[in-house]
Chains A and B, each alone.
Chain A
Amino acid sequence: MKIAIASGKGGTGKTTVSSSLAAVWDSPVIAMDLDVEEPNLHLFLNPGFIGSRTAQMEIPEVDPSVCNLCGKCSDLCQFKAISLMGKVLMTFPEMCHGCGGCIAICPEKALTPASRELGEISWGHKGDTEFLMGRLRIGEAMSPPLMRQVKERLGEMQDTSSTAATRKDVIPKDVIIDAPPGVSCPAINAVMDSDVIVLVTEPTPFGVYDMKLAHEAFTPMNKPMGVVVNRAGLGNSEIYEYCNAKNLDILAEIPYERQIAEAYANGIIISESSDKMKHIFLELAEKIKQKAGSKNAGVVPRE
């Protein structure tokens, strides 16, 4: 089961919920940070990192001695990443979306694949919890290609036949995804492969408005969805009215308390900050499993 922790608005508590869920989950779990622009989950889980690799995207490189300046590549490119300037074929690597069209269409085979660095993928674990994250290179504009590669790495970690599976005995079956904020392509990319979406919001006008956007954006995917109201008691009741009207279940409420904000500010996993909090997240974990219709959430024994 893959659980995406998402929100329209930033700063509503996605990382709080992701880290707390990973801490209370009743079986080994993979915690995956797909907020590659500003990944924060590791700051709370504090995993020991055991490996990393650079994520690259394929971009074209021109061999001017072979290019006959026919311009087919430049006509095809939708992103102005390759362009015929008089008698020179130029590439603009940072414009490239890596579609590979130019390389495929070149009749002279004058273009070969080179690469642009997107960022870094790192993994490790903390106790029973496997950890995986992507971190976008500063100055790189495109996060979805890096997110795709982080998800590929997840596939390797879950593949029992792969050497990338770090665990000898069991493969964690459940994945908790810390998604980026917003409702545009990076957020959609993070939740599209999940089995259940948890929307984390706060009862403020910004929180409600952005959660509506997220709810509308994710509804066409037909996935079970539920809501966690963070900082409950802070604002007004609009969020409850909306959830009620839309038949959205409220899976948990995390109270608005200064101690919680301070615990977060000190890098403490909220479910570990008190028994009361632990209980809230244990219950949330149960409700998420019910929501996803998964009766046998747990681990797959390795053959």
Chain B
Amino acid sequence: MDKIAVTCEEPSLDSQVDPRFGRAAGFLIVNPETMEFEFIDNGSSQVMAQGAGIQAAENLSNSGASVLLTGYVGPKAFAGLNAAGIKIGQNLESMTVRQAVENFKAGEVEFAGASNKQGHWK
């Protein structure tokens, strides 16, 4: 099964899903069958003055994940993730990473056709 990326506040399955994509603390790349995971630090995007979402999408595009679960994604990051072939499940804040993955496995995550957030910048 494909690997799943989830925005997280800290490197743990019990971390809350970070609602922000571009400026998320990091991503857990989870194998949904074994629930094994690795952590990708997103610090390089957090410090960016502009284009944080684009930087985060770039970071994720090299992770091997084909699905992203998060709160909201801005329009540019959305376009970037689309180009990288990563499917996007939004509005998954207010739960833990584990719950988000379980929701996904239960087929309860809808994949968005468009960004659910206006860019800060444009």
Contact = CB atoms under 8 A, between A and B. Distances in A.
Contacts of B80: 83, 85, 90
A206 interface: no
B109 interface: no
Interface in B61-83: 61-62, 76, 79-81, 83
Contact of A92 (B61, B76, B85): B76
B55 interface: yes
A105 interface: no
Nearest to B80: A85
A143 interface: no
A79 interface: yes
Interface in A131-162: 139, 141
Given A80-B48, A94-B122, A141-B122, A86 B54 contact: no
B50 to A, nearest CB: 7
Interface in B45-62: 48, 50-51, 54-55, 57-58, 61-62
A221 interface: no
A86 B61 contact: yes
Contact of B50 (A84, A95, A139): A95
Interface string A112-141: 000000000000000000000000000101
Contacts of B62: 86
Interface string B68-105: 00000000100111011100000000000000000000
A86 B85 CA distance: 8
Name the interface size band of chain A. Answer: 10 to 19
B48 A85 contact: no
B89 to A, nearest CB: 18
B122 A74 contact: no
A90 B83 CA distance: 8
Contacts of A139: 122
B81 A85 contact: yes
A22 B92 CA distance: 61
Contacts of A79: 50-51
Nearest to B79: A90
A91 to B, nearest CB: 10
B38 to A, nearest CB: 18
A99 interface: no
Nearest to B57: A85
Contacts of B76: 92, 95
B83 A80 contact: no
B86 to A, nearest CB: 8
Nearest to B63: A86
Contacts of A141: 121-122
Nearest to A71: B58
A184 to B, nearest CB: 15
B61 A95 contact: no
A74 B58 contact: yes
A110 to B, nearest CB: 16
A74 B84 CA distance: 15
A74 B57 CA distance: 13
Nearest to B76: A92
A76 interface: no
Given A86-B62, A90-B79, A92-B76, 20 more contacts: A79-B51, A80-B51, A80-B54, A83-B54, A83-B57, A83-B58, A84-B58, A84-B61, A85-B80, A85-B81, A85-B83, A86-B85, A87-B84, A88-B84, A92-B51, A92-B54, A95-B50, A95-B51, A95-B121, A141-B122
Interface of B: 48, 50-51, 54-55, 57-58, 61-62, 76, 79-81, 83-85, 121-122
Closest 9 CB pairs of A and B: A80-B51, A86-B84, A86-B61, A85-B84, A88-B83, A80-B54, A85-B83, A85-B61, A85-B80
